[in-house]
Amino acid sequence: MSGKVHIIAEAGTNHGGSRATAARLIDIAREAKADSVKFQIIYPDGLYLPRFFNNGSYQENEVYKARAAAMLSEADYRALARACRERGIPMSASVFDARGLDLLCELDPPYIKIASCDLNNDGLLKAAAEKGRKLIVSTGMSSLGEVEHAVRTVLGTGNTDLVLMHCVSVYPCPLEKMNLRFLETLWAAFGLPVGLSDHTEGSLAAAVAVSMGVEWIEKHFTYDRKAAGFDHAYALEPAGLAQYVADVRAAERACERPSAKVPPEEAQVRKRARRSIYAARAIQPSERIREADLIVVRPEGPLTPNDIHLVVGKSARRAIQAYEPISLDMVG
């Protein structure tokens, strides 16, 4: 692993249009020790039709209405960015159009996030890349060819600070549908930093992804899974988010760079678990030692089982007691 995994606590629009609730979500992310908190800046008229034309008449788009009712104002986002600076947790957002992109960049985010739905939106990808900031792009619902086109689009602007997030756009996503081996495909195809946008329940997929070498992980969270709104039902509640972060950190520790040195805790076990060479009976001075005169048992002593050829056929230099550990200075 190249370093600490960056955990994005994805608040999305779980604030429901309330600045106070958004501030509460920021506190939850900070207390869970996430590395950043992320919202979704959605202008409904930039993402949805207000009405559908169907069979000769118009029908109201209920999603448009719900999104409009759950909007934060630009002033809200500015206030939340200040709150994040005061609390010491970076804030960013997914953006879906030029207005959201410009507002986000005004807030000086650590990265810009492009959702899976816009991986094939060259105009938005170019505009975001041209801001010169780190760009994180999710790859849900996309073929490898579509991802390749998006990568070329971003890199073509001269911005090489690009992270690809493996994502399966199923909410929640069963573990068996996660296709985590696609992480390896992304690394091999593009040589870029890769992360996981995790829509599973629990932290197992994240732990596996950490063991594979991801550098970014994104997870939805909420203050209450029973709350009304788009993403609450499959998001983690506060205690769940804290446990998720702890599990990712534990997975990191389990995957730390290997060392040839035996740690002290293992050395203690080694002393009682490894075998050594012992006298099977009393051996007299000058007596030639046969293999039958020896036993190879626990605990660890001066010689290893592989040293037995250094003892067999040699003569005892002194009297050796039964069950006494053998060392080379005792034979010759």
**Who has greater pLDDT, 229 or 125?**
125
Angle, vertex CA 86, rays to CA 85 and CA 89, nearest 5: 50
Task: Show Cβ contacts of residue 82 under 8 Å, excluding neighbours closer than 6 positions.
Answer: none
pLDDT value, residue 66: 94
105-129 pLDDT, tens digit each = 999 999 999 999 999 999 999 999 9
Q: What is the mean pLDDT of residues 11-36?
A: 98
pLDDT of amino acid 202? 94
What's the pLDDT score for residue 260?
Answer: 73
* Section 141-168 average pLDDT: 99
pLDDT reported for residue 3 = 62
- What is the reported pLDDT for 261? 79
* Partners of residue 221 on adjacent β-strands: 236
Looking at residue 18, what is its pLDDT? 97
CATH code reported for the domain at 264-330: 3.90.1210.10
pLDDT at position 139 over 60: yes
Confidence (pLDDT) at 295: 98
Q: What pLDDT score does 1 carry? A: 40
Q: What is the spatial distance between Cα 183 and Cα 250, in angstroms, rounded to a whole number?
A: 21
Give the model's confidence band at 65: pLDDT under 50 very low, under 70 low, under 90 confident, else very high.
very high
Kindly report, residue by residue over 252-275, the tens digit of the pLDDT. 999 987 777 788 888 899 999 999
Alpha helices in the chain (DSSP H): 19-31, 62-69, 74-87, 98-106, 122-129, 144-155, 182-190, 204-212, 238-254, 264-273
294 contact partners, CB below 8 Å, separation of at least 6: 277, 278, 279, 280, 308, 311, 312, 326
Determine whether domain 6-254 maps to CATH 3.40.50.300.
Answer: no
Mean pLDDT estimate for the chain: 96
**pLDDT confidence of residue 212:** 98
315's CB contacts (< 8 A; 6+ apart) are: 286, 287, 288, 289, 331, 332
Domain boundaries, the chain: 6-254, 264-330
At 2, the pLDDT band (50, 70, 90 cuts) reads: very low
Mean pLDDT of 75-96: 99
Could you read off the pLDDT of 240-251 as tens digits, one per residue? 999 999 999 999
Higher pLDDT, 261 or 329: 329
